[in-house]
């Protein structure tokens, strides 16, 4: 994993950010909207891989509760933190490698998450842009 940390060491923050991404992975694998939605700020902005823009936790929740549990996709999805850029000590841009493994083959996504640390110290998803990786 590449990280841009400036002059400070952000070891605990990096671990917390990796934990959020790991929870995204688990919630997607288990089709668990509650675990996924618990990672967002109330005013978050989320854009799906197909360009649907969701503004605010209510919109993200309505979409997720409709789509995630109903997914009949037979494969496995993995998420890996690829790069973290601390914009400020409490704001980070997080590049993620997303892999979809299915019986018919593999595909990829390239999400970018903007995460912020709240007053309670928790890192939360503030904005996200998921992008399908097109090969060829």
pLDDT tens track, the chain, 136 positions: 555 544 455 899 999 999 999 999 999 999 999 999 999 999 999 999 889 999 999 999 999 999 988 877 777 899 999 999 999 999 999 999 999 988 888 989 999 999 999 999 999 999 999 988 888 6
Number of domains observed in the structure of the chain: 1
Query: What's the pLDDT score for residue 10?
Result: 82
75 half-sphere exposure, CB direction, 13 A CA radius: 13
CATH of residue 48's domain is 3.10.450.50
CB 123 within 8 A of CB 16: yes
Query: What's the pLDDT score for residue 102?
Result: 84
For residue 125, give its domain range: 2-133
Query: What's the pLDDT score for residue 4?
Result: 52
Query: What's the pLDDT score for residue 40?
Result: 98
Q: Three-state SS for 115? A: strand
CB 106 within 8 A of CB 99: yes
Residue 43: other Cβ atoms inside 10 A = 10
Q: Three-state SS for 68? A: coil
Query: What's the pLDDT score for residue 3?
Result: 52
């Amino acid at each position: 994993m590449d990280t841009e940390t400036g002059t400070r060491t952000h070891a605990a923050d990096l671990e917390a950010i990796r934990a959020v991404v790991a929870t995204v992975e688990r919630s997607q694998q288990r089709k668990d909207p509650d675990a996924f939605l618990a990672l967002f700020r109330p005013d978050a902005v989320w854009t799906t891989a197909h360009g649907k823009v969701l503004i605010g936790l209510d919109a993200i929740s309505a979409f997720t509760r409709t789509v995630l549990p109903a997914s009949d996709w037979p494969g496995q999805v993995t998420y890996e933190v690829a790069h973290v850029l601390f914009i400020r000590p409490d704001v980070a841009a997080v590049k993620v490698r997303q892999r979809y493994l299915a019986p018919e083959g593999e595909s990829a996504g390239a999400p970018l998450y903007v995460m912020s640390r709240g007053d309670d110290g928790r890192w939360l998803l503030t904005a996200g842009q998921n992008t399908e990786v097109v090969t060829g």
